[in-house]
Chain A
Amino acid sequence: MDDPIILKMKSYLDDIRERRERYADLTASSNNVIVKPSIAPELKKRSDMLKQILDETK
């Protein structure tokens, strides 16, 4: 059917779908490069250990 409203809406929908899929791909690839939060607990653990050593060797 050549109804202009339908064509316009279909084009709009295709655009949304394409952008959503592109964004999902981008998110998946960015998740791989973001530093994992595991480094933070390691830092805390080491700092706590240092504090304990400092307290014990005053």
Chain B
Amino acid sequence: MNQDPHYIKGMLERLKDLDELTKTMQEKFEGEGSRNRFAWLFMPFLKALYIRKEHTDVVMQKILNFASAPPVIALFGALGFLSFITAVESALLTPYPYLLIGLALYLYSAMEIFFRQLDFKDKLFDLYAFKAIHPSLYQAFQSFSGTAPFSFNSLHETIRTILEREHLTGIEAYNELKAVYEKLEAITEERNQMMNDVEYSESNMANLLTVYEHALKLVQAAAAKRVSKDVLYLYTDYSLFEKRGDLLVLQESHHTYDIPREISLTDEAVQHWAVVKACHAKEDADLIQLDISHRLVSLAIKIKVEQTIYLYSFHFAQREIDHLIDMIMREELHTLLYHSILLYHKEKEG
């Protein structure tokens, strides 16, 4: 079946129209035996004398209807007839025009009734007239009669039933699909949340493991009395400054050869350095400072060990910032850093 909705709609509408025709034909076929076979030939001449025309809206048709109405025909006939026998003949001229007009109107009326006999919508429709004038159409419509007559209306209803079923199945399938998709969306959201949780836990565990591993090294170094600058190494290259008055003095470092051994805290040129900004920090929130220069990151942390202020800086390439920031900005790492520097400080103090 053509799935185009316009086609389906047009088909349903036409089926309804067609059924009016088939219904009329069936009724006529049913009464076929009781009717006179040749009545359609002479009945128009009789009916022209007493049947009124159907009303229409066309002005010309109205005029013709009036002119060919039985009373008008009768009037003209009477005038023609009277003109033969009355004394007013001379006044009314000859009778023939009246007779001709009356006859013409009569013939027009008879012809109109004749054609109405062929119009299946007209109450004067005559099956035998239709059969004689349109034999092939008559033959085609014969199939609509019989014990199980075909009806366009039943076809119309059948198609409607099929479409209604399709509509309901579609709605049902849509609702089921919708429920499945909603469930799927909820599960997907739950899954994404769980994946995030797993990633977060994994990252936390990895960091804690690193801290634990380093803490173990600190204990081993302390126990073996072999504390060195190695205890200060965490993830990246580093530098460790000690604050002495207005100076930061480099104590230890790892692969950071371009860093000055002393930095003046009053030098305007170095005020943007992370280590200087961290040193100037008054609030806890400012104790950690970041500085990026020439694609190199310096992340400095100010730590006070006993009475000494230390500035520890992580140094790494900018491309690693996302990965390392996540590992460095953790409370457990800062605690570990404090204890590493404390151990280093104790060792240095002797």
A and B bind: yes
A33 within 8 A of B: no
B216 proximity list for chain A (CB < 8 A):
1, 3, 6
With contact pairs A20-B195, A51-B167, A57-B16 given, residues A40 and B209 touching in the complex (Cβ less than 8 Å): no
Q: Count A/B pairs, Cβ under 8 Å.
A: 78
Contact present for B195 and A23 (CB under 8 Å)? yes
Contact present for A50 and B163 (CB under 8 Å)? yes
Contact present for A50 and B13 (CB under 8 Å)? no
Instruction: Indicate the size class of the contact surface on chain B.
Output: 20 to 34
> Pick the contact of B174 from A10, A34, A40 — CB < 8 Å?
A40
A54 proximity list for chain B (CB < 8 A):
160, 163-164, 167
> Pick the contact of A53 from B163, B171, B198 — CB < 8 Å?
B163
10 smallest beta-carbon distances between A and B, as pairs: A47-B170, A57-B12, A50-B167, A40-B177, A43-B174, A44-B174, A37-B181, A53-B9, A47-B171, A47-B167
**B binding-site residues for A, Cβ under 8 Å:** 5, 8-9, 12-13, 16, 156, 160, 163-164, 166-167, 170-171, 173-174, 177-178, 181, 184, 191, 195, 198-199, 201-202, 205-206, 209, 212-213, 216-217
**A binding-site residues for B, Cβ under 8 Å:** 1, 3, 5-6, 9-10, 12-13, 16-17, 20, 23-24, 27, 34, 37, 39-40, 43-44, 46-47, 49-51, 53-54, 56-57
**Sample of 7 further A-B pairs with CB below 8 A, known A37-B181, A53-B9, A54-B167:** A9-B205, A16-B202, A20-B202, A50-B8, A53-B163, A54-B163, A57-B13
